[in-house]
Amino acid sequence: MALFVHKYGGTSMGSTERIRNVAKRVAKWARAGHQVVVVPSAMSGETNRLLALASELTPDHPDTAYYREQDMLAATGEQASSALLAIALQAEGMPAVSYAGWQVPVRTDSSYTKARIESIDDARVRADLDAGRVVIITGFQGIDPGGNITTLGRGGSDTSAVAIAAAIKADECLIYTDVDGVYTTDPRVVPAAKRLGTVSFEEMLEMASLGSKVLQIRSVEFAGKYKVPMRVLSSFTPWDIDLAEEASSGTLITFEEDEKMEKAVVSGIAFNRGEAKVSVLGVPDTPGIAAAILGPVADANIDIDVIIQNISKDGKTDFSFTVNQTDFQRTLDLLREKVSPSLGAAEVVGNPNIAKVSIVGIGMRSHVGVASTMFRALAQEGVNIQMISTSEIKTSVVIDEKYLELAVRALHTAFGLDKTE
C-alpha cells in the first residue's frame, strides 16, 4: 500500500460527467489498496467567471479590503468542485470527505491573491485516510493568521497538491492534466515534439520559469525543496486503464540524473509570449544605477526578467529589461514619472511585442558550442536577437514576437529533438 496525492485541473473537472470519471479513476486506486488524497481545481472557466463578476463591481482604487473579498469569492470555485467529487465518489461506493483549505488547515501568509503556504496540519487528513476514506482538499487556497481565506495565485492548485504531498510524505504526487506529459516543446507549435519519459527537477524548474505551462513554477520549487516525486499524466485516458500502466505513464520529474539524460544536450524548448521590453536611455554610467532603476520597479511588485546594460559612451549608458506584458504600461509610467527625471535619462521607451525563447538541458553543462548552435539556427532563419540570458543549463533570447514560432521550430530541429529515439 502506498500514499498518493492526485491533482486534477479545471479541464478534468469541467463537467459532472468528467467529475464522475475522475471519481471512478480515484476509486480504482483506492480499491487497489492505496491511500489517496485528491486536490481538484475549480471547474473549467469558473474562476474566470467569478473574477469577472468582481471586476464589474471593482472600486476605482482597490485596497486590501477589496482583495480580501476577491479571495473569499475565488475560493468558492474549488469548494464546489471538491464537494461534487466527494459526492461522486460516494455514489461509487467509496467513502470520501472534502475539506476547504482552512479546515485542514493550510496556513498561509496574508498576501491576498498571491499568498504563500507556511505550514499544513496533516492530523485530520491522516485520521480520515486511516479510516479508509478518500480525502479531497481544495487547491489554490488556505487561511492566514487572522483567520481570513487566502488564495495562492493562478495555477495555485499545483502548489497546493505538492505542498500537501510534502506534508503527508506521499510516495508520489500525480498531476493529471489535459496533456499526457511534458514535451520537448508545445506540440501545437511543433507537431513533431516528443513526450519526455523523464525530466530532471532542474530542467523542469527552468522550463516552468521560462514559459512552459504544464506545471506552475511554485509547485516545482516546492517539489525540489521537499524532494517530492512528481508525475505529469493525462486525465483523459480511459479511467479503467490498467493501474500499473497508468502509474508508469506520463513524465516523471526526477531528482536523479541517469545516463540517458546526460546524453541529451538540450531536453526542451520553452517560450513565453507574454513579455515586454523596457529601456531607459542615456542614464549616467555610475555605481548604483541598476538599483536606482530597478529598485522602484521591484517596490511596485513588478517582476523583472532579462536585464542588459550597454557599454558606456561619454559617461552614459542604456539600460534594458523585460517585464510581464500586463505590467508594461505601469512600468513605463513609473519610470517616466519617478525614475527618469531624477536620473536625467534621455528617454524611456518600450516594446510590448517581444517573446522569449529558451533552450534547456542538463547536458549543456558538459557540452561546448550549444549557444553558438542556437544563434546560428536563428540567424539562418533571419531572426534577430535583442537580448540574451544564460545559466548553467539554459540559454534564453528575446526576439520579436512575430518570429516566435519560426524560432521554436528551427531550434527544435537544430538540436535533434524532431528525431525519434
Which pLDDT score, from 0 to 100, does residue 310 have?
Answer: 85
Question: 264: pLDDT confidence band, cut at 50, 70 and 90?
Answer: low
261 within domain boundaries:
no
pLDDT, tens digit, for every residue of 88-143?
999 999 999 999 999 999 999 999 999 999 999 999 999 999 999 999 999 999 99
Which pLDDT score, from 0 to 100, does residue 245 have?
Answer: 96
Which pLDDT score, from 0 to 100, does residue 159 have?
Answer: 93
Cβ-based burial of 223 (10 A; exposed 0-12, middle 13-18, buried ≥19): buried
154 within domain boundaries:
yes
List the binding residues for substrate: 47, 78
Percentage of residues in the chain having pLDDT higher than 70 = 97
Which pLDDT score, from 0 to 100, does residue 42 have?
Answer: 96
Residues 62 and 158 grouped into a single domain: yes
**Mean pLDDT to the nearest integer, 338-355:** 91
Residues 244 and 308 grouped into a single domain: no
List the binding residues for ATP: 7-10, 177-178, 183, 188, 213-214
Which pLDDT score, from 0 to 100, does residue 366 have?
Answer: 78
Domain extent, residue 178, equals: 3-256
262 within domain boundaries:
no
Residues 178 and 291 grouped into a single domain: no
233 within domain boundaries:
yes
Residues 21 and 63 grouped into a single domain: yes
| Contact residues for 48 (Cβ-Cβ < 8 A; gap 6+) | none
Residues 189 and 331 grouped into a single domain: no
Which of 396, 394, 415 is closest to 272 using CA atoms? 396
The domain tally of the chain equals 2
List the binding residues: 7-10, 47, 78, 177-178, 183, 188, 213-214
Q: Evaluate if residue 263 carries a pLDDT over 80.
A: no
User: Phi and psi dihedrals of 316, rounded to 5?
Assistant: -120, 155
Which pLDDT score, from 0 to 100, does residue 215 have?
Answer: 85
**Mean pLDDT to the nearest integer, 25-49:** 97
400 within domain boundaries:
yes
pLDDT, tens digit, for every residue of 267-313?
999 999 989 999 999 999 989 999 999 999 999 889 899 999 888 78
51 within domain boundaries:
yes
Which pLDDT score, from 0 to 100, does residue 420 have?
Answer: 54
Residues 167 and 247 grouped into a single domain: yes
pLDDT, tens digit, for every residue of 165-181?
999 999 999 999 988 99
Residues 102 and 246 grouped into a single domain: yes
Residues 164 and 299 grouped into a single domain: no
Residues 403 and 273 grouped into a single domain: yes
Q: Are 163 and 120 in contact (CB under 8 A)?
A: yes
Q: Is the peptide bond before 145 cis (omega within 30 degrees of 0)?
A: no
The winner for highest mean pLDDT among 53-67, 84-98, 329-343 is 84-98
Residues 226 and 295 grouped into a single domain: no
419 within domain boundaries:
no
